[in-house]
Structure formats: C-alpha cells, structure tokens
Amino acid sequence: MTKNQKDNELVFLPLGGSNEIGMNFNLYGYGPPDDRKWIVVDLGVTFGDQTTPGVEIILPDPEFIEDYADDILGIVLTHAHEDHIGAVAWLWPRLRAPLYATPFTAFLLREKLREAGLEDVEINEVDLGGSVQLGPFDIELLTLTHSIPEPNGLAIKTPLGVVLHTGDWKIDPDPLLGEPTDSDAIRRLGDEGVLAMVCDSTNLFVDGVAGSEADVRVALNKLIAGLKGKVAVACFASNVARMDSVIRAGQAAGRSVCLVGRSMHRMAAAASSVGFLKDIEPFVTDAEARHLNEDQILYLCTGSQGEGRAALSRIAEGTHPTVSLGAGDHCVFSSRVIPGNEIPIRNLQNKLSERGVRLYTERDHPGIHVSGHPCRDELKEMYQWARPQIAVPTHGERRHLEEHAAFAKDLQIAQTVAPRNGDMVRLAPGRAQIVDEVPAGRLYVDGGMVTPENGEALKERRHAAANGVLMVSLALDGRGRLVSGPQVRSLGLAGDADDPLDEILDELADEAERALKGVKGEALEIDDAIESAISRAVKKAAQRVWERRPVVETTVLRL
C-alpha cells in the first residue's frame, strides 16, 4: 500500500438537510484530505416564509464544493421531490458535474433544466435497481417506497466500507404504484457489512408505522362517494399514488376529474411517461368542467400548504379564472401540515370556510392521508436489516437528529454522529467523528436573482416591514438655500385621533428643516452630507413618536 493510499479517508459532508427538514445537499468524499474526489447526493431547495418577505425559494450555498468542482464525479439524485432536486437548475452551472437519475426523476429534471435554458445538460438515466461507477464510488440503487414514484436508497461502496444512504423512505407493503421496499437487497447489504447508514429522521417522534397508500385509497373512496356538490381534493402533486387514488375515487363516484395547477399537469405527464396513471378516463379542462353538473366534477388541486400562488389559494380568494367553490361544496385535504406552514394553511382553510365550503382533514377524518417518511417501528426494522456500525441521522431539525442518535444507541448501534450542515464527518478509517467544519449557508432566490442569505436587500425589506418607511424630499438652490419642502411621506406608519398622521409628518418636516440649518460650510455643497444629517434627525424624531426606527430615505434636488 502506498503512502497516498494509507492517507485515504471516507467522509460525509451535509451542506443542507441536517438541522432542517428540506434543502437536502449531501457530499461524500474519498481520498487523502488534500486530494479528495467527491460525489453529490441530492441538490434540493426549501421555501421562504414570513421571515423572508418576497423570497419564495431558498438554495443551499455550494461555496465550499464549488472550489473543488473539478473533483466532483457526479450528482446522484435519489428522487424527484423539490427538496432533493429543486436546486439543480439554479446551481448546476456552478458545479457542472454529470447528473444521474432514474426515468421519472429525469423527466421532471429535464423540464426544470429546459425552463432555466439548460436543455443541453445531459442527464444519465439509471434503471431502477441499477448501478453507477464513479471513481472509487460504486453506487447501487435500492428500491424503496415513499410518496413519489421511484424513490431510491443508495448503497455507496468504497474501498473503506459501504454507506447506505436511505434518502426519503417508508415501509409500505402495498404502495399501489411502484414496487415495495426491496428488503432482501438491504438484508444482503447488511450481511456483507454496512459501515454507516445515513438515514431519514423526519418522523422520529412518531410511534408505530406511517401507514399504507392502499388504506388511504379505501378511505378516499368511502368519503368521496358520499359527497354531493363540487368536490376539490388538495394533495401533493408529487404523490402520484395519491393522485391515482383520488382520480379513481372520483370516477367511481361518477365524477369527471379536472387537474388544477401547473404542478398537477406536470406530474401527470411525468407519471404517464413511465407507465403510471393507466386505465383512467381522460381529464376534463377547467373550462369544460364549468358546464358539468356540480355532482359530476372533482377538482384535483395544488396548494395544500397554503402557497399563495397555488390553485387552491386562488380558489379560496375567488380569483381563479375558471374554478369556484361555495356553499354546498367540499374540499378534502389529503395531505399533512408541513411544519412552518401552519399559518398559511389555517388562513387558506378559513377563507374556504368563509365561502361555505366544508373541509375534510386528516385530523377529523383519519385515514385520508399517510406520511411518506418512516415512523419509529419502521426505523427499527431498517436498522435490523442493515445493521450498520455507524448511525448518521439526517433530514431533520436538531431535535430530530439528537433523538435519532439516541434511538440508534438504544438499538445497539456502536457509533452515532449527528452532524449539522457544514460538519465534515470522517466515517473511515478509525472511529466516526467530526473532523472539520466548512461554510454551509443559504442563497435566496429574490425576484429571479440569487443573493446571499444576509444580503442588504432582504435586511432592508425586513426592517421596512417591521418599522415602516419615511421619505423626505426637499429642493435647494445653488447656494444651498431651501427652495421647497421638506416634504415627508410615509409607508406603514399610523396615526390616530389624538395624533393624526398628517400632523406627525408636518412635525417631522420641521425636524428635517432644523437639521438642514445645522449643516454648515462646505457640507452644504455635498448632497450626501445633507441627506445623512436629515435622515438621522428624522429617524430619531420618529423613534420618539412610534418607538421604532423606520427606514428614512432623504432626497435632495438641486435647482
């Protein structure tokens, strides 16, 4: 063995998806510390919330691995959920590594790349159960079940040991579409010896099992069969088995099915391309649906999480151009509440209720939804099959990862490491441990532009949203004497009967004029000096009035 071979290490490095649910971005490195080769497993997004006004999509920051882009052997995608493939079109130009995916995932990824003007990027399609050789990484795809077609675990075989990277999974004996989890392959892997299992932690706090799609189909058939009036069903478009169940339940009840929302149409096309959604009646368009009897139509909608631009939100607002729901109609939420979406979902459901729509959720109608992630009994079974030496929890918040590590210890797993994004874990040789920490930030997609997480634009937007805005304008002559103004206008700041807003703004204008008089000498010839002095004075005065410091923008016009 050469010295260089003796220095080889196998490392795992999450840059997204550890300490959070979503935005999965995982790296595996092999070689000496100064000359590693890398593979990327998944490259996903997460979504903005009330803390990121104006930002809908959030990407993992590839800064660390971008510096080693020439050493990336490939990007391997486990399945087609947005939190696993959604960042590819945004970040591939920075990495430019070969892409590997199974047919369903490849279909959806091609659409994303085409929309981004990257239609020439090649995707290497891998058969279900197939394998990929990337340098020292021999990768075998393992068939699992999840809430989307073609979910894959990865058996990553290296000279220093085998890693089982589960991706997202559950154990469903009857997934309706696709094959059940290939437990025999995982057992064989366990018999051969698994060094480490990097495993989904989403439902770590839920006892029992997630449940089967077959049971959901029975529940939906029973519920939809008894409804009169228009029926809308909201579910994740990516859950093609659920789509199939809703479609068949609607048709069994004598209803034509209308897909509402771009994602529904996209997923239906992807599913059809790989042989799913067979033997169903043709969908009707939303224009055609308007001419059907109310008891003859079922709308299958996007927007179960309260997304503002999704179909169901527009229906609830009454702004959808062709679909409306009202008194006597029904909306079935065949989905769960993703943590962080509680407020928009509640607002959506209240708006539908205001319209007289009756709602059905998994809370009041158990059985109309099951999770796509493993609960504790399923995790226990997976550990019994794989028998890894090292447990590495991922796909979870800190509380999930820490509890997962404790759970693995209870199952007699010899070593556990629960990394945060940016923690480099050496899996071999020697005991598993965190050996380095690298940058692991976020990038925001803001108005179609990719900006740093703490960029000035979003800081200012947050500040303005919380504190309001004051705009001061004035005109000066060539000698710096006041010709017009100051005039003060406001956004997001209130007055009341005792202190009308107009009077407050007049007082602030007086404060601005006093600040102008305090500017002397050569500073009167410098617009920036005048604007800075006025802004400081107005901000201090505003704090006395509103007990907050609004954004103050001062504009000086020279005549």
Give the CATH number, domain containing residue 171.
3.60.15.10
Question: Do residues 217 and 353 share a domain?
Answer: yes
Q: Does residue 365 sit within a domain?
A: no
Tokens encoding 305: 């999480």
Predicted pLDDT of residue 479: 78
Question: Do residues 90 and 186 share a domain?
Answer: yes
Average pLDDT, the chain: 94
Task: Note the pLDDT tens digit of each residue in 196-228.
Answer: 999 999 999 999 999 999 999 999 999 999 999
Strand (E) positions, 96-184?
Answer: 99-101, 123-125, 131-134, 137-143, 152-158, 161-165
Task: Note the pLDDT tens digit of each residue in 377-393.
Answer: 999 999 999 999 999 99
User: Could you give the C-alpha distances from 235 to 180, 242, 319, 337, 362, in angstroms and in order?
Assistant: 22, 7, 20, 11, 12
Question: Do residues 203 and 66 share a domain?
Answer: yes
Give the CATH number, domain containing residue 516.
3.10.20.580
Question: Do residues 282 and 403 share a domain?
Answer: no
Task: Note the pLDDT tens digit of each residue in 429-456.
Answer: 999 999 999 999 999 998 888 988 878 8
Region of residue 326 (phi > 0: left; psi between -120 and 50: alpha; otherwise: beta): beta
- H or E element at residue 551: strand 551-558
Q: Answer whether residue 2 shows pLDDT above 80.
A: no
Give the total number of structural domains in the chain: 3
Q: Answer whether residue 309 shows pLDDT above 90.
A: no
Question: Do residues 278 and 332 share a domain?
Answer: yes
Tokens encoding 7: 């220095």
Q: Which of 321, 337, 360 is the last residue of a domain?
A: 360
Q: CA-CA distance, 55 to 444, in Å (whole number)?
A: 7
Predicted pLDDT of residue 443: 95
- Length reported for the chain: 559
Q: Answer whether residue 3 shows pLDDT above 80.
A: no
Predicted pLDDT of residue 525: 85
Find how far residue 373's CA is from the centre of its chain.
Answer: 16
Give the CATH number, domain containing residue 236.
3.40.50.10710
Tokens encoding 411: 């199952």
Question: Do residues 447 and 401 share a domain?
Answer: yes
Task: Note the pLDDT tens digit of each residue in 330-383.
Answer: 999 999 888 778 999 999 999 999 999 999 999 999 999 999 999 999 999 999
Domain that holds residue 480: 468-558
Of the ranges 134-138, 428-432, 527-531, which one carries the lowest mean pLDDT score?
A: 527-531
Q: Answer whether residue 134 shows pLDDT above 80.
A: yes
Q: Which of 452, 485, 514 is the last residue of a domain?
A: 452
Predicted pLDDT of residue 5: 75
Q: CA-CA distance, 26 to 5, in Å (whole number)?
A: 24
Q: Which of 395, 421, 452 is the last residue of a domain?
A: 452
Q: CA-CA distance, 271 to 104, in Å (whole number)?
A: 7
Q: CA-CA distance, 11 to 198, in Å (whole number)?
A: 12
Average pLDDT over residues 415-437: 98
Predicted pLDDT of residue 4: 61
Question: Do residues 352 and 388 share a domain?
Answer: no
Question: Do residues 333 and 390 share a domain?
Answer: no
Task: Note the pLDDT tens digit of each residue in 461-506.
Answer: 888 888 999 999 999 987 788 999 899 999 999 988 888 999 999 9
Predicted pLDDT of residue 1: 39
Question: Do residues 274 and 313 share a domain?
Answer: yes
Q: Are 390 and 218 in contact (CB under 8 A)?
A: no
Predicted pLDDT of residue 92: 97
Q: Does residue 238 sit within a domain?
A: yes
Question: Do residues 259 and 202 share a domain?
Answer: no
Find how far residue 103's CA is from the centre of its chain.
Answer: 22
Question: Do residues 58 and 143 share a domain?
Answer: yes
Predicted pLDDT of residue 161: 98
Q: CA-CA distance, 507 to 225, in Å (whole number)?
A: 66
Question: Do residues 279 and 346 share a domain?
Answer: yes
Task: Note the pLDDT tens digit of each residue in 247-260.
Answer: 999 999 999 999 99
